[in-house]
Chain A
Amino acid sequence: MSVIERTAPVFDLPGVDGRNHTLEEYADAPVLVLIQSCNHCPYVLAWEDRINDLAREYAERGVKFVAINSNDAEAYPQDSFEAMVDHAREAGYVFDYLYDESQEVARALGSERTPECFVYDADRRLVYHGAVDDNRDEREVTRHYLRDAIEAALAGEAPPVAETPPVGCSVKYRS
């Protein structure tokens, strides 16, 4: 298993909106949610509407969601930057979707799966790492890990669950 960094990694990555985004850019957000993601994984496709809904819901409280795709696009052309632009538009993403072509951010995060969530408090300390919730079928969800972590971080408290196993496709690292 990868070692998960306890602070948010510094990054400067191109987004599907045509400009670069940095960690500093989100400095005012009381909570920052980084999500290791991609275009082609069925687990991402199963969860992305819920992620989008959470991003929309918490935007008014200043919470920022940032999805990062680090997959090797040479081996998986569906995860190319061009495909990201198309996918974000088609899926109606309301959050920034960034391309980590060098895979440095994924390695810094210690990501293994897509989707995999990292929730940081105002000091950018990791307060939750893992899955969005406990079931990829929205109708069967009983535990809302990501939502609970955001609420706790906004209240300045520790989340009820700080770590869950992320469920999803493997991050496609170059060998």
Chain B
Amino acid sequence: MRIELLYWEGCPSYPEAKELLEEVLRERGIEAPIEMREVRTQEEAVALRFPGSPTIRIDGRDVDPIGAESTPALTCRIYRSSDGRVSPIPTRTQLEEALAR
């Protein structure tokens, strides 16, 4: 399993996202490493189809496929939980579902 976490330093949410991802991986007994990749420029954002920080991909698939379609940009990414709440990181459920796919 390949697990990537793409981030932009201008957004402070990626350490929290990494922490949650590590927790979910631990709970599920998954030992695959998290590949951290910093996105530094708009050109890199476009080339990597990076819709904002943090972006987490499991085997190349975004944990939030709808949000993945947003315009590539050096920005903080917006995630929404099932009850409509806005969050700067994916929900635990989004991560669990992505790992189960």
A residues contacting B by CB (< 8 A) are 40-43, 45-46, 76, 136-137, 167-170
- Bound CA–CA A46/B77 (angstroms): 12
Q: Interface residues of B: mostly helix, strand, loop or mixed?
A: loop
- A42/B78 contact (C-beta < 8 A), A168-B12, A169-B10, A170-B10 known: yes
Complex Cα gap A41–B88 (Å) = 8
Taking a contact as CB atoms under 8 Å apart, the answer to whether A42 and B87 are in contact is yes
A168 to B76, CA, bound (A): 9
Excluding A42-B13, A76-B73, 18 further A-B contacts by CB distance (< 8 Å) are: A40-B75, A40-B76, A40-B78, A42-B77, A43-B76, A45-B86, A46-B86, A46-B87, A76-B75, A136-B87, A167-B12, A168-B12, A169-B10, A169-B11, A169-B75, A169-B76, A170-B11, A170-B12
| Residue B85 lies at the interface, judged by CB distance under 8 Å to chain A | yes
Contacts of A45 in B (CB 8 A): 78, 86
Bound Cα distance A41, B76 (Å):
6
Q: What would be 24 A-B contacts, judged by CB atoms less than 8 Å apart?
A: A40-B76, A40-B78, A42-B13, A42-B76, A42-B79, A42-B87, A43-B76, A45-B78, A45-B86, A46-B85, A46-B86, A46-B87, A46-B88, A76-B75, A136-B88, A137-B85, A137-B87, A168-B12, A169-B10, A169-B11, A169-B12, A169-B76, A170-B10, A170-B11
| In the A-B complex, the 5 residue pairs with the closest CB atoms | A42-B88, A45-B86, A42-B78, A169-B76, A170-B10
Complex CA distance for A40 and B88, rounded to whole angstroms: 11
Residue of B with least CB distance to A45 = B86
Q: Which of B10-46 contact A (CB under 8 A)?
A: 10-13
Which residues of A have CB within 8 Å of B75?
Answer: 40, 76, 169
Chain B neighbourhood of A167, CB < 8 A: 12
How far apart are the CA atoms of A136 and B13 in the complex, in Å?
A: 11
Select from chain A the residue with minimum beta-carbon distance to B81. Answer: A137
Interchain CA distance A169-B12 in the complex, whole Å: 7
